[in-house]
A = this chain, B = another copy of it.
C-alpha cells in the first residue's frame, strides 16, 4: 500500500498524492493512504464512508470550519508521474486538486490545537456524475459530519478567495415540422429551419451581471449542442438545441428556469438537469474573518462547484485553493509551488488565530 508522509513539506506531499493514481471510481489506494496517515494522529477523530475520509478535532471551540477537497482526478492523459520544474509542479491532479488536498493534510498533521474546531474532508468521485459524489453521499448518510459555521472548498482558485458560485441549468429547446422527401420539400415543414429563430434569440442575448456582496457575477446562455436530421434526402421533422444557462446566485433554480422559459417563449422547453448557485455569504462573520485573514481580495466564482452543496446545508462556503482553474482537466495541468506554500501559510495563520 502506498503511504503518505505528512511531515514532509507541502510540495513533496502533493507529489506523493499525485503519484498515487486516483481516477474517479479508482480512489481505493489513495483513500487507504489518507485514512492511515490521519488515523496516526491522536488529536483527530477519523471516520470513513466509502472512499471518503473525515477527520475532526474536538476542542470545544466556539466555531467549527470544514476544509474539503476531492481525491479523484479526470482520466490520465500522459501526465503522470509528477514533475517539478522551475518552481512549478506538473502532473495530473496537481491543480485539480491534490495540491489543495496536500494543504489540508499538512494542516491536519501540524495543528493539534487550532483556534477553531476543524473538520477535514477528503472525498471521492467529484469529477463524475453527481450520484457518486462523495460529498453528496456524506451529506445524505451523515449530515452531522458536515455541520459547521463556515466551509472552505480547496478547488483551484489561484490561491485567492472565490465566493459563491453560479447555478447551472440545461434545457432542450425543440422545434418540430413535417417530414417530406427533399425533392418535394414544399410538402413538408423543415424543423431545422425553424430552429433558426431559437439561435437568433441566443445571438441577441445580453448577459445579466448582478453585483452581490460586492462581487460582479456574469451570466451565460449558450447552445452547447444542436442536432437534427433524418436522412440526406428527407426534410427533417425535429431539431433539438441544448442550451446551458449559467445564472448568478441571486436567482433560485426555479427563477432561472422561469426566465429561460420566458426567453424561449413559443418553444417546447424541457429541463435535462439543474443545480443551484451559492450566494457568496460574505456578510457572515466566519466568512468575513477568513477573507480578512487571507488578504481581503475576493472574486466571484463563475463555475459551479461543491460549495453549492454546503450552501444547501446552510453552511456558508468559499472556494480557496492553489492552482489556476483554467489548467484543470488539461494535459499540461500544473500548480505553482508558491500557491501551495501561500495557501498552507495563510490557512495556518488563520487557524492559529494570527493575522495573515
Contacts and interface: CB of A to CB of B under 8 A. Distances in A.
Contacts of A242: 229, 232
Interface stretch (A100-108, A114-122, A197-205, A333-341): A197-205
Interface string A209-247: 000000000101011111111111111100101101010
Contact of A183 (B186, B223, B304): B304
Contacts of A232: 170, 224-225, 242, 244
A10 interface: no
A166 interface: yes
Contacts of A181: 303
B302 A222 contact: no
Interface stretch (A13-21, A131-139, A188-196): A188-196
A239 B170 CA distance: 19
A228 B195 CA distance: 13
Contact of A182 (B207, B229, B235, B246): B246
Interface in A264-281: none
Interface residues of A, number: 46
Given A224-B232, A226-B227, A235-B222, A196 B202 contact: yes
Contacts of A185: 220, 222, 246
Given A193-B202, A196-B199, A236-B223, A183 B302 contact: yes
A22 interface: no
Given A193-B199, A207-B186, A227 B229 contact: yes
Contacts of A186: 207, 218, 220
Nearest to A303: B183
Given A183-B166, A244-B182, A223 B304 contact: no
Contacts of A234: 224
Given A199-B192, A202-B193, A232-B225, A220 B182 contact: yes
A218 B231 CA distance: 21
A303 B185 CA distance: 10
A208 to B, nearest CB: 13
A73 interface: no
A168 interface: yes
A302 B186 CA distance: 11
B229 A235 contact: no
A45 to B, nearest CB: 36
Contact of A225 (B193, B236, B303): B236
A233 B167 CA distance: 12
Interface in A62-120: none
A202 B190 contact: yes
Contact of A220 (B183, B207, B304): B183
Given A233-B244, A242-B232, A244-B233, A224 B182 contact: yes
A168 B202 CA distance: 32
A168 B183 CA distance: 8
Contacts of A200: 196, 200
Nearest to A181: B303
Interface of A: 166, 168, 170, 181-186, 190, 192-196, 198-200, 202-203, 207, 218, 220, 222-236, 239, 241-242, 244, 246, 302-304
